[in-house]
Amino acid sequence: MIKFKQFISEGRDADLYHGTSMSRAMKILRSGKIHASYNGHTSLTRDKSTAQTFAHKSDGPVIFKVNQRTLSHTKKIIPTDWHMGGSVRDEKHAKDRETEMRRSESEEAVKGDIHLKHVHTLVMHKDDYHAMAGPKTEHEIAHEAAAKRGEYEMRPGSATSYRNRMKKTKEFHSLLDKHGIKLHLSNKYY
The model's pLDDT over 70-85, given as tens digits with 9 standing for 90+, comes to: 999 999 998 886 544 5
Nearest residue to 131 (alpha-carbon basis) of 181, 175, 166: 166
Domain locations in the chain as residue ranges: 11-186
Average confidence score pLDDT of the chain: 78
Contact 34, 119 (CB under 8 A): yes
Query: Residue 102 — pLDDT band, cuts 50, 70, 90?
Result: very low
Number of H helices, E strands in the chain: 8, 9
Give the whole-angstrom CA distance, residue 99 versus residue 44: 21
What pLDDT is stored for residue 177 in this prediction? 96
Residue with the bigger pLDDT between 134 and 69: it is 69
3-state secondary structure of 88: coil
Specify the pairing of strand 119-125 against strand 182-186: parallel
Taking Cα atoms as reference points, which of 142, 190, 179 lies closest to residue 33?
Answer: 179
* pTM: predicted TM-score of the whole model, two decimal places: 0.74
Over residues 112-149, the pLDDT tens digits come to 999 999 999 999 988 888 888 777 777 667 767 777 77
Question: What pLDDT shows up at residue 176?
Answer: 96
More confident call, 32 vs 167: 32
pLDDT greater than 50 at residue 89: no
**Pair 143, 160: CB distance under 8 Å:** yes
DSSP 89-110: --HHHHHHHHHHS---TTEEEE
CATH number of 11-186: 3.20.170.20
